[in-house]
A and B are shown apart, each in its own frame.
Chain A
Amino acid sequence: AQSVAQPEDQVNVAEGNPLTVKCTYSVSGNPYLFWYVQYPNRGLQFLLKYITGDNLVKGSYGFEAEFNKSQTSFHLKKPSALVSDSALYFCAVRRPRGDGLTFGKGTHLIIQP
């Protein structure tokens, strides 16, 4: 069975500093990986995805993610954090038949002014 792990419940970063939100995965076959962001009482917004190709994927709002096959990781990054980046971030992997996503438990990102 496939799974996604987000080892940190919360990440605290000072505004202007680089941020990393960690994600590791376990799948059989090719991994199709996603990052979503959720603001309070809102749905999930798509940030970026890895399907194939370049290991560094660029997405919305200045976010990027690095796919590392040997470490089975897909960490979310941003060079300079903004207070408005504070939200709940979910890593997800597409199910083998493509019919749905399996999510990690989420990481609260808190950017301190």
Chain B
Amino acid sequence: DAMVIQNPRYQVTQFGKPVTLSCSQTLNHNVMYWYQQKSSQAPKLLFHYYDKDFNNEADTPDNFQSRRPNTSFCFLDIRSPGLGDAAMYLCATSRDPGMSTDTQYFGPGTRLTVL
């Protein structure tokens, strides 16, 4: 089945220790998104890639970066995690945001704990 896969499902890191979260997709979608969802809050868009074009949200901290080496994979790098970065990180994909029928499909998420 075509899907969005996130690894690992649970990640524990130490304060200030860089961490990388991974997302892959078999949908062959053009766009990959990263959302941050803190406890009991709505998902918040951090950035997205449209093909190789990176689009950062204005209020995304510099501590968060992303890489998309190919169509299938996208990574979220947190350079120096703070306690406030503990959250569920959701990856999503969509085919073409220019089309009104475009739908985002989400992976299962990675829950990040910062000690």
A interface, CB within 8 angstroms of B: 30, 32, 34, 36, 41-46, 49, 51-52, 90, 94, 97-101, 103-106
Contacts and interface: CB of A to CB of B under 8 A. Distances in A.
The 6 closest A-B pairs by CB, nearest first: A98-B97, A103-B42, A43-B106, A44-B106, A100-B45, A43-B108
Contacts, number: 60
Contacts of A106: 40-42
A105 B41 contact: yes
B43 A90 contact: yes
Interface string B42-84: 1111001010000101000000000000000000000000000
Contacts of A97: 97
Contact of B106 (A36, A52, A105): A36
Interface string B75-115: 00000000000001010100001111111111111010000
Q: How large is the interface on B (under 10, 10 to 19, 20 to 34, 35 or more residues)?
A: 20 to 34
Interface of B: 4, 6, 31, 33, 40-45, 48, 50, 55, 57, 88, 90, 92, 97-109, 111
Most chain B beta-carbon contacts within 10 A, residue among A42, A43, A99: A43
Contact of A103 (B43, B98, B105, B108): B43
B103 A34 contact: yes
Contact of A43 (B40, B90, B97, B102): B90
25 contacts: A30-B100, A32-B100, A34-B104, A41-B88, A42-B108, A42-B109, A43-B4, A43-B6, A43-B90, A43-B107, A44-B90, A44-B106, A46-B105, A46-B106, A51-B100, A97-B97, A98-B98, A99-B31, A99-B48, A100-B45, A100-B48, A101-B45, A103-B42, A105-B41, A105-B42
